[in-house]
Chain A
Amino acid sequence: MAEQEKATRAQVADVDRSLYDFVKPEVGYERFADGLNEEVVRAISAKKDEPDWMLDLRLRSLDIYHKMDMAPNWGPSIDGLDMDNISTYVSSGAEQAASWDEVPEDIKDTFERLGIPQAERSYLAGVGAQYDSELVYHNMQESAAQMGVVYSGIEEALHGEYEGLIHDHFMHLVPPTDHKFAALHGAVWSGGSFVYVPKGVKVEFPLQSYFRLNAKGAGQFEHTLIIVEDGADLHFIEGCSAPKYNVANLHAGCVELFVGKGAHLRYSTIENWSKNMYNLNTKRARVEEDGRMEWVSGSFGSHVSYLYPSTLLVGARSSCEYTGITFAGAGQDLDTGCKMVLTAPDTRISVSAKSLSKGGGKSTFRSEVIVGEKAERAKATVSCASLMLDDQSRSDTIPAMDVRCPSASVGHEATIGRISDDTIAYLMSRGMTEAEARTVVVNGFANPVSKELPMEYAVEMNNLIKLEMEGAIG
């Protein structure tokens, strides 16, 4: 009886992923055999007709991959991930188009359902869309192109005048030796965007790349390389989603960001991978003098995530702000946070992280702040707040700080809590149902992050954190 009564209490619903959960058939697709070996790596490279140095990098990465241990000895379990069952390359065969009309109908329909062409028309300066292993669409507004901004597929850029620039930056911030999945990425990477913003150019509207993994039992390994030259300004948005399968999928992308002197880059992500996804993504930024890096990160999807955008503040007075929210529901173990390395004087960082967990989900905030000996007068503040929505869920906070400079000031605060009965009672006494009351509290909790997101994404996030009554109809 008591159990029944409990069942009629309002619960925060699981994140509604039905919007993302549709599958398109793979008719006539090219799909490489599952597993990883030199043959597969050479085949990917050959397919892309890329420079020899890139093939060398791939083979070197493969070698490193084979020499490293599979499982990390910390964080969530990845035992369910077997590389022998993952296809590293799947392509629809569609040529990359610069007009949505030229994109095959079912793929175009996918991106329309995700709202990408609509967003492009209303508020973006450019869009890239990747489907499985290959880009299917890339386009940028004429006005941005005229200012010398480059926004294209990274493989396309490898064949042009930017090859040298890419050669000098590609996997320099995240070397294949960084960890097992960085090595894997180096070996089989495919797709992703290249952005170059010349000196002093301020891109008025955001650029957005969207990554969709449709194929079952496959991996997505896109590489995003962004170079923002001195005094330039860019907002880049990254979105990702996939339909749910009952076998493991893998995302091991890599993002490398170079922020020049006095430049500004904001990198916003909303990640909605399905719950069979292992999201082992690596993102890193390097910031020169007076440069400013901002990360806005929303993690809602995946079965397991290891995600810690890292920032190297190498120039004096450079700064970084990280704002993140993670929502772990049933069957999810999301280990997210950030890493900051301050090596120059008067550098500043500020971290604000929120995490929600429900339905037995586990959410871990992990951060590492390293303040080097030369980072005089550096300032670091880290704050994280966790909200557990029921008794089955877990939230952990693992903030590490390594401060080697006496004149630096660092601060950290963490709160972990539940929605109090008093709060619910108060809101209900004002006429809200229990579910509405919980929605108000959760949205309020997420508000500092959602207001940092582009409007459309903020709306999407509020829809994701939708609440409903369970079993209390009538």
Chain B
Amino acid sequence: MPDELLAIHGLNAGTEEKPILHDIDLTLGTGETHVLMGPNGAGKSTLGRVIMGDPAYQVSSGTIAFDGRDITQESSDKRSLAGVFLSYQAPVEIPGVPLNSFLRTIVQKRPELKMTGREFRRRLKEVASQLDFDSSYLSRELNVGFSGGEKKKVEMMQLLLLKPKLAILDETDSGLDVDALSVVSRGMEAYRAECDGTLLIITHNTRILERLDVDRCHVMVKGHLVAEGDSSLVGEIDREGFGRFETAEAELAGEEA
């Protein structure tokens, strides 16, 4: 059993209007690859956001510990600097901010990544070519007018530049786009190879997992984690869908009531 990198206990969270996540327990060991699956609207992306510390969501009870430290009350930027990374499903566009200077800024926030301007440019070029990213885009405004695939590449470039301890990849809908899928796959492979990091992949598309050794698979339905298993669970969901888990959740909800 490797060290626990992320340990979530009894977590209840949601927006001001409504609770979304119920009694979540989730543990990720250092270097492991976990998959979080579940039907649309189950709360998978919300869990990613809550781990990242998105202020749009509030934790009503429970704890999140990262790297041996309770981060439940910490702001998102502190979590980021501690080594949590969330790849967004739909990253924002920021007019007037050149991509390369944005990347330079976030690298400079991390003393452990200290590099000269020249070293940074070399590393950026390397990462861009790893992901087949058109380097002429580096001086363009962050994500403005980028295609879905290009935005995904920008997320993966950040993953490879920042080398976080934990990468949460929210790929809920990317199953539709074959290009985006391959970008994510390459990014994940490079991240595993270069950083030996820990992965939590949020998806309901199993193709993304084909080239990856999955350690654990979790199933979420209506804000509950209803099942956990090894990689064989991925195959089962691929064949049979979420029907049996939805029944399990209904029973669970019935008991609670």
Most chain A C-beta atoms within 10 Å of own C-beta, residue among B77, B85, B88, B91: B77
For window 70-94 of B, CB contacts with A under 8 Å fall at 75-77, 79-81, 85-86, 88, 91-92, 94
A268 to B49, CA, bound (A): 45
Instruction: Decide if A443 touches B80 in the complex (CB within 8 Å).
Output: no
A334 to B203, CA, bound (A): 50
Q: How distant is A97 from chain B, measured CB to nearest CB, in Å? A: 42
Instruction: Decide if B102 touches A440 in the complex (CB within 8 Å).
Output: yes
Q: Does A432 contact B (CB under 8 A)?
A: yes
Instruction: Decide if B106 touches A431 in the complex (CB within 8 Å).
Output: yes
A residues less than 8 Å from B94 (CB atoms): 423, 427, 440-441, 444
Given contacts A420-B92, A432-B77, contact A443 B54 (CB under 8 A): no
Q: How distant is B13 from chain A, measured CB to nearest CB, in Å? A: 15
Given contacts A425-B56, A426-B91, A432-B105, contact A448 B77 (CB under 8 A): no
B80 in complex: contacting residue of A421, A429, A447, CB < 8 Å? A429
Given contacts A423-B94, A431-B80, A431-B110, contact A440 B105 (CB under 8 A): yes
Instruction: Decide if B97 touches A430 in the complex (CB within 8 Å).
Output: no
A residues less than 8 Å from B80 (CB atoms): 428-431
Given contacts A440-B105, A444-B141, contact A431 B81 (CB under 8 A): yes
Q: Does A168 contact B (CB under 8 A)?
A: no
* Cross-chain pair count, CB within 8 angstroms: 74
Q: Does A422 contact B (CB under 8 A)?
A: yes
Q: How many residues of B contact A (CB 8 A)?
A: 30
B residues less than 8 Å from A441 (CB atoms): 94, 97
Range for the number of chain A residues in contact with chain B? 20 to 34
A residues less than 8 Å from B55 (CB atoms): 421, 424-425, 428
Instruction: Decide if A428 touches B97 in the complex (CB within 8 Å).
Output: no
Q: Does A446 contact B (CB under 8 A)?
A: yes
B residues less than 8 Å from A445 (CB atoms): 95-96
Q: Does B122 contact A (CB under 8 A)?
A: no
Instruction: Decide if A423 touches B76 in the complex (CB within 8 Å).
Output: no
Most chain B C-beta atoms within 10 Å of own C-beta, residue among A426, A433, A441: A426
A78 to B197, CA, bound (A): 63
Closest B residue to A420 by beta carbon equals B92
A residues less than 8 Å from B77 (CB atoms): 428-434, 436
Q: Does B109 contact A (CB under 8 A)?
A: yes
Contact with A along B94-113 (1 / 0, CB 8 A): 11110000100110011000
Q: Does B158 contact A (CB under 8 A)?
A: yes
Instruction: Decide if A429 touches B96 in the complex (CB within 8 Å).
Output: no
A residues less than 8 Å from B76 (CB atoms): 425, 428-429
Closest A residue to B106 by beta carbon equals A430
Q: Which 6 residue pairs across A and B have the least CB separation, nearest first?
A: A444-B96, A447-B96, A444-B97, A428-B76, A431-B80, A431-B109
Other than the given A423-B92, A447-B96, 14 more pairs (CB < 8 A) read A421-B55, A426-B88, A428-B55, A428-B80, A429-B53, A429-B85, A430-B80, A430-B106, A431-B106, A431-B162, A432-B109, A443-B96, A444-B96, A447-B97
Q: A residues bordering B, Cβ < 8 Å?
A: 420-434, 436, 440-441, 443-448
Q: List 30 A-B contacts (CB under 8 A).
A: A421-B56, A422-B92, A423-B92, A423-B94, A424-B55, A425-B49, A425-B54, A425-B76, A426-B92, A428-B53, A428-B55, A428-B76, A428-B77, A429-B52, A429-B53, A429-B86, A430-B77, A430-B80, A430-B109, A430-B158, A430-B162, A431-B81, A431-B109, A431-B110, A432-B105, A440-B105, A443-B96, A444-B96, A444-B141, A445-B95
